Structure 1
């Protein structure tokens, strides 16, 4: 089977940094336990506990004895209801339910396949349940006719996209809050649906090392991808502690790259005769290591999560030393080592604020030189004028509504009539920083109108609302995904995944971070990617972050300039 990562892209896009009221412009500290009161003059992020060494995070996944017979064999018409416990390095984090059932419409028979995935994670001390779902309606012969993808976004908000196959095109449209979303996806012949995917291994008689290909719809990226499956061996495999080994065939599945993003290969153990999957594993550093989906009973799969995965610990990059007053400094130079990436020099972009230098392709190391930007620079090289997509109202950065426009008007109300784009953008940053409510991590990728209604969330919500409000007052904007410096306990700082926005003013793209509200950013902000979100209904803009997570880079501080 292919890697079951698409349903958790919003989880993988780490929360980064969120201010707690009051929001002073001061130093940042990490506090593992909630104090009685925030120290005055500090912005506090709480990762929810100490960072444990890797060896301490690898307990054995124990499944109740009822899992000895995890599910009945499929009935004659091919219906099934598979349940998998999901774990990272042996620690349960949720479940996956994979079903197929026969349905009848207008006197014709079809098959409806569904994958529903639910993870329970700890985001800065707050336990959050996040989910994703994809489904297809297929003919008995396996031809896909309809697709549906659902993803939890924010408080009381869900992204729902449905697709209808018309010839060689999938016509995608949104439902509910995504009603204005529409797209067309190239649809080759032979795309395998959710129900059909469970039968890929049935009846396969391959020699070790032999492989076959199939096409799958990657819902979160809204595109069709090729998967290559290689048969490795048939072996005796122990699935659960205390349960005798059973004979299973082992396969390795590799999805084609999504641009520069290479999704991890997945290993699946399936019954050699029926092809029923019993375990799938893949390595994903963004969740802390080896991810396992283990076939079990519904009760065992849905059992309460005793120890939710701490995303901050899994997704932050530990630095070797501190940089005092990093957000007030002029520049910094980091040494990055990315041994897991094929082209490490392209992990981080070079732009007017940061530059990759001294790349050693053999050692897979380079220097990243980062400058502070706190307003228009007199010597800056003018950037090309932004296109209309940086002013338009899109699904995520949707400003053409009363809530966002009202907040934007209030943000710039005190400015003089001659105020320029930079003054307006700074006013927006200040207003978002001062009016967003206490950090609330249940939202994962809420749209700007939803944030304008709730005025709560983490850095992604701060950035989405800030970018939307800028556009509402005529200032082109885009969001930025990257890393931000955050001191940690014991003098060991981190780079945490983070989001902010850039506004186009004085012929330049200028960064602003409403989470911190400092009127610009220092060398503690490292960009990974920026995006307008124009006509975007998937999480494709997050893929560069997934690439960095997969690379699992190490970062050293070489020097910092006052």
Structure 2
């Protein structure tokens, strides 16, 4: 079994102090190690996810909670979204009134429990739709630095999920150095989804968190505002182990969410004691309802902890009910069974009737129904999309085809194509982040620059006129569609630099590559996550496309389809310029609707 050693102390000193690129790959040093190279082959494992039987809360019983980590949720969401690819409602947790609300800011912890500083190693098995799809391990090791008691946390996750009949594998590694109370000193994360890994290292310096994000040879510095009330990956564990929740109590903590590289707020509510059936037998556990709030929305999950403060089971309601169950190392590393669940075909939102020639229509009116949320909040208005709220669970959405020809103006007019009226709102105009290169949209990559030049190579007819930005954008879209090959379903998000070399991918790679080509030509761009109509499935599946800012407006283009304009057979959820490696803003809205959405077609034009 391969063993990776991630020494963040060496990386931070050599990179931040010297201002050079970081070799995050394995290094020696004094860092402790965890196995992260275990490979699972299809076989029978026999493990079954547990069930829960609720009982009335027991009076006067104290339960110590722990291990309710938001980083696991974001990692899980990223894995599921990547597996969802291009293209039954879960009951929400029951709530309980909070007797009191607390936070860690300015509070005095109780006397430290032995477990708060005890070294330990735990393993978990992951289940999706009742089938085991991966495992994770976390190792906590106390150390003393400059007379200060600290904790070094090392964790890894591995997922293997079937998507459109192919296997997608994702691996995540994390290391951090924190105080027992969760104050973050330094960290490192590495995420691999089939292609080149995306790596982030960071450290807290005064009132800011300094980070370096590396992908496919590109290193980008990113800083976040930082303060003493913001915690690291262990903040929740340290808080609850030293000052356990009581039934009915709610606690709010602000923490860094690794991988997403953003700050989120976690709200924990201790509900009461329940009987939970685990692989080792039924146990009386404290139920904890949790909400992780990010800029892209909020995600809900439920955890059950024992009297020692260890969480033995977690269910992520907004990640298709993904379950993480405490197990032994041997159980976690058993070969995975062949999955019957396909996180591509099986999450398509089927329509009652197919839409003929859907992507060449002028407009489509939809009625959306969500099981547990307001669709008018999740489906954002944007270029070509209007949203009207009907009630708490229903909305009407009209999507229109945007083309210069709609107004009859000449698209070759050097003054610019006359796109449908209505420029962007004041808060939706391009920012510098929509124009500059970043770790995913690598518009300064030599291969990307060369590809853009090839796409816009002059023809004899071009010499007599000036290309408008709109025509440039359409030529770039056509070029991506013609020169790329569909495939690579075994990888998740690749960078534009990688795509420029291998010209292989699915909708995420098509969207990111087109965005990078546009930026290299001075055209602001961003990617959009949402749903698109899949003719072969007669329904809507997850999809990503591109928006370019031309002639004073954002206009959608879809290089995967290559039609020269994005038609109305799509539903827009959220856009992002992917600055700072922010995939969370794309992940959260999609997972809030997967498995919970009904789409009815009202009218087609």
When the two structures are superposed, what TM-score results if normalisation uses the length of structure 2? 0.75
Q: In the alignment, what sits opposite 1:542?
A: 586
Q: Name the structure 2 match of 1:427.
A: 475
The CA distance in 2 between the partners of 1:329 and 1:14, in whole Å, is 29
1:254 aligns with 2:279: no
Secondary structure in structure 2 of the residue aligned to 1:536: helix
Matches within 5 A, 1:204-223: 207-223=246-262
What is aligned with 1:512?
557
Aligned twin of 2:400: 371
Q: Secondary structure at the match of 2:449?
A: helix
Residue 298 of structure 2 aligns to a residue whose secondary structure is coil
Give, in whole Å, the separation in 2 of the partners of 1:140 and 1:328.
58
Which residue of structure 1 lines up, in the alignment, with residue 78 of structure 2? 10
Query: For the residues of structure 1 that align with 2:431 and 2:171, how far apart are their CA atoms?
Result: 34
2:323 is aligned with 1:292: yes
Equivalences for 1:62-461 in 2 at 5 Å?
78-103=118-143, 110-139=150-179, 142-155=182-195, 157-175=196-214, 177=216, 180-195=219-234, 197-198=236-237, 200-202=239-241, 207-240=246-279, 243-255=280-292, 257-259=293-295, 261-264=297-300, 266-272=301-307, 274-284=308-318, 286-287=319-320, 290-308=321-339, 309-341=341-373, 343-357=374-388, 359-362=389-392, 364-375=393-404, 377-378=406-407, 380-383=420-423, 386-415=430-459, 416-417=462-463, 418-461=466-509
Does the CA contact (< 8 Å) of 1:85 and 1:94 recur in 2?
yes
Size of the aligned set, in residue pairs, is 494
Residue number in structure 2 paired with 1:496: 541
Pairwise CA RMSD:
2.9
C-alpha separation in 2, matches of 1:420 and 1:311: 41
Indicate the SS of the match to 1:120: strand
Q: Deviations over 1:106-165 (max 9, x none)?
A: 78663211232211111211101112233320235653211222222551x111112211
Residue 5 of structure 1 aligns to a residue in which SS?
Answer: helix
Aligned partner of residue 86 in structure 1, secondary structure: strand
Distance change in 2, residues 1:105/1:318 (3 Å): same
Residue 356 of structure 2 aligns to a residue in which SS?
Answer: coil
CA shift in 2, pair 1:54/1:528, >3 Å: closer
Q: 2:450, 2:180 → 1: CA distance?
A: 52
In 1, the alpha carbon distance for the partners of 2:375 and 2:250 equals: 30
Is 1:558 matched with 2:602?
A: yes
Q: Contact 2:182 / 2:236 at 8 angstroms: preserved in 1?
A: no
Cα deviation 1:269-315 (Å, max 9, x = unaligned): 2221x21222122312x43xx22111111121122221344211453
8 Å CA contact 2:444–2:520 kept in 1: the answer is yes
Structure 2 CA distance for partners of 1:555 and 1:9, relative to 1, 3 Å = same
Q: How far apart are 1:504 and its partner, in Å?
A: 2.9
Deviation (angstroms), 1:259: 3.5
Return the offset for 1:220: 3.3
Structure 2 spans left out of the alignment, 5+ residues: 1-67, 91-113, 408-418
Q: Using the alignment, how far apart are the partners of 1:367 and 1:76 within structure 2?
A: 51
In structure 2, what is the Cα distance between the partners aligned to 1:559 and 1:435?
35
Contact 1:112 1:195 (C-alpha < 8 Å) held by counterparts: no
Secondary structure in 1 aligned to 2:585? helix
Measure, in 2, the Cα distance between the counterparts of 1:373 and 1:6.
Answer: 34
The separation in 2 between residues aligned to 1:376 and 1:13, in whole angstroms, is 35
- Mind listing any 5+ residue stretches in structure 1 that lack a counterpart? 19-44, 46-52, 56-73
* Structure 1 stretches of 4+ moved >6 Å: 15-18
Secondary structure of residue in 1 paired with 2:498 = helix
Assess if the C-alpha contact under 8 Å between 2:452 and 2:476 holds in 1: yes
Q: CA deviation at 1:540?
A: 3.4
Query: Does structure 2 retain, via aligned residues, the 8 Å contact 1:479–1:502?
Result: yes
